[in-house]
């Protein structure tokens, strides 16, 4: 049973070690399925392993309304990044109810291993790119909190408090 790790837990600030397919911390197919299911239960579109207390380089992305199309990205590597950028609103399961605009590249090319350990390559743009980079940051110990100014963050936190009341 997975449990969500929330900020300021120190695991969110640590770079994760590669997933070792020759000596896995957990069966990769089981990890993929359980993370996708958990992400969908939480109504998220992405989830990194360290957000559920598992110290390894894997994240999942998908649509909470369609768990079957969820996908895991083991040991992801970003190969190309466009100079063009876009500022989109982001949220994070580890920071409940906080939403803030983050500027990120418009398009990336990346490679990763799937749960069979085979390498895949793909391009991501717009919203999918934002999600990929958000989760990729988690694996490097970076949160969206680290990507915005102190003032922008303070305003986002204040707005979240107003939403709760």
The reply to whether 135 belongs to the active site is: yes
The torsion angles phi and psi of 68, rounded to 5 degrees, stand at -65, -25
Neighbours of 153 (CB within 10 A): 17
Q: Give me the torsion for CA of 48, 94, 90, 108, rounded to 10°.
A: -20
The torsion angles phi and psi of 99, rounded to 5 degrees, stand at -130, 135
User: Would you say 147 and 159 are in contact if contact means Cβ atoms under 8 Å apart?
Assistant: no
Identified catalytic residue from 32, 68, 125, 135: 135
C-alpha closest to that of 35 among 11, 77, 3: 3
Rounded to whole angstroms, how far apart are CA atoms 98 and 126? 21
Task: List, as own/partner pairs, every contact residues 158-165 make where C-beta atoms lie below 8 angstroms and the sequence separation is at least 24, other chains included.
Answer: 159/99, 160/96, 160/97, 160/98, 160/99, 163/97, 164/97
For the annotated catalytic residues, the residue numbers are 135
């Amino acid at each position: 049973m997975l449990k969500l790790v929330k900020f300021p837990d120190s695991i969110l600030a640590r770079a994760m070690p590669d997933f070792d397919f020759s000596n896995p911390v957990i069966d990769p197919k089981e990890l993929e399925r359980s993370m996708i299911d958990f992400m969908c239960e939480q109504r998220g579109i992405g989830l990194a392993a360290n957000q559920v207390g598992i110290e390894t380089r894997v994240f999942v992305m998908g649509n909470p309304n369609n768990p079957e199309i969820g996908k895991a990205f083991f040991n992801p590597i970003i190969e190309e990044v466009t100079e063009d950028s876009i500022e989109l609103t982001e949220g994070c399961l580890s920071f409940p109810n906080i939403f803030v605009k983050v500027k990120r590249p418009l398009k990336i090319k990346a490679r990763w291993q799937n749960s069979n350990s085979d390498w895949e390559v793909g391009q991501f743009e717009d919203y999918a790119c934002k999600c990929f980079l958000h989760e990729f940051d988690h694996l490097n110990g970076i949160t969206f909190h680290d990507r915005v100014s102190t003032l922008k963050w303070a305003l986002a936190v204040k707005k979240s408090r107003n939403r709760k009341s």
